[in-house]
Amino acid sequence: MAIATKKALQRLFHRVTFYPCNKLNQNILSLPTSRFLPAGLILTLGLGITLVTTAWVGQWERQQQQSEFQKQINNLTTALQRTTNRYSELLLSISDLYRATDNQVNAAAFSRFTQRSLGSYPGIQALEWAPMVEQAERSQYEQQLQALTDGKQKSITERDRSGSLIPAALRPSYVPVTFLEPWQSNEAALGYDLASDQTRKTALEWARDTGTPAATGRLQLVQDIGAQQYSFLVFVPIYQQLPQTRLARRQQLTGYILGVFRVADVVEESLRDLNYEINFYILIKTLRPTSSFWGSTMLDCSS
């Protein structure tokens, strides 16, 4: 029985090939490699294509966003420039009135001429006339100022260090605000010497010497002491004739037409009909860093 069983087992295992463990594992692992290679290659290629496509789409989206951003910035800049140009043209039209009448414009005529503009330009805080007054003419001017204001304003004024209005110090000449529209909410500026403030004086002298409109940096108005808002002024010089040299301009200067504009109102008017989806700041690069920031607009993201 044992011999028969042994022979049976020999016949059975004669058909079986035995391998060492390391050789067996090697053969087993090598058998499916050729079958898995195409699938792995396809997976690798597919992942590579996906990464390349994702990178390309990301770059395209960034380019689109940058293009849209630049487009909106250009639109904002154009809108602001268009609005400020309109205001400059308005001031030039008032200066034409002075030239046409040989500078013979009284308070009533100034008021009538500016009324329609005040209703059409919401960014305007005030339109004013400020003549050149020499020191020798100060007393006579202040008498006229008292008559113009029914005695409420008795002298040319300036600001002290605290911002309060006080009688102006003695100096060779003054540029006091004399005609003012609208009167309401702006009457504190009547008689204020524009040349007593360095920011205003710089713009006055530039306009005088060039014969062109000149704007100040941002500033706080005399009538806005304590308020957290900024404005700017634009001056247009008025001469006795049309001088051709800087010296002649200084000698023939009679005064200034000026517009007073609140920054927030000008920006709001400029962007009223404009669709934009960005927050932005307004910086005037030609001004000193301390006054170059003019304002900002932030979108309401709460909805």
Q: Is the pLDDT of residue 268 over 90?
A: no
Query: Do residues 132 and 175 touch, judged by C-beta distance below 8 A?
Result: yes
- Residue 83 and residue 261: Cα distance in Å, rounded? 11
Instruction: Kindly state the average pLDDT of the residues 158-177.
Output: 93
- Residue 178 and residue 102: Cα distance in Å, rounded? 18
Query: Do residues 245 and 103 touch, judged by C-beta distance below 8 A?
Result: no
Q: Is the pLDDT of residue 83 over 60?
A: yes
Give pLDDT tens digits for 101-139.
999 999 999 999 999 888 888 888 999 999 999 999 999
Give pLDDT tens digits for 187-205.
889 999 999 999 899 999 9
Residue percentage of the chain with pLDDT more than 70: 68
CB neighbour class for 18 (10 Å; exposed up to 12, middle 13-18, buried from 19): exposed
More confident residue, 124 or 276: 124
In this prediction, residue 52 carries a pLDDT of 59
pLDDT bracket for residue 157 (50, 70, 90):
very high
In this prediction, residue 225 carries a pLDDT of 60
Give pLDDT tens digits for 22-81.
443 444 444 454 454 565 556 565 566 666 566 666 676 777 767 777 777 777 778 778
In this prediction, residue 299 carries a pLDDT of 44
In this prediction, residue 295 carries a pLDDT of 54
- Residue 297 and residue 303: Cα distance in Å, rounded? 17
- Residue 228 and residue 85: Cα distance in Å, rounded? 26
In this prediction, residue 253 carries a pLDDT of 97
Which of the four CATH numbers 3.30.450.350, 3.40.630.10, 3.40.50.1820, 3.40.50.150 does domain 65-297 have?
Answer: 3.30.450.350
Closest CA to 250 of 148, 186, 172: 172
Query: What are the extents of the domains in the chain?
Result: 65-297
In this prediction, residue 46 carries a pLDDT of 58
- Residue 204 and residue 253: Cα distance in Å, rounded? 11
CB proximity list for 27: less than 8 A, separation 6 or greater: 19
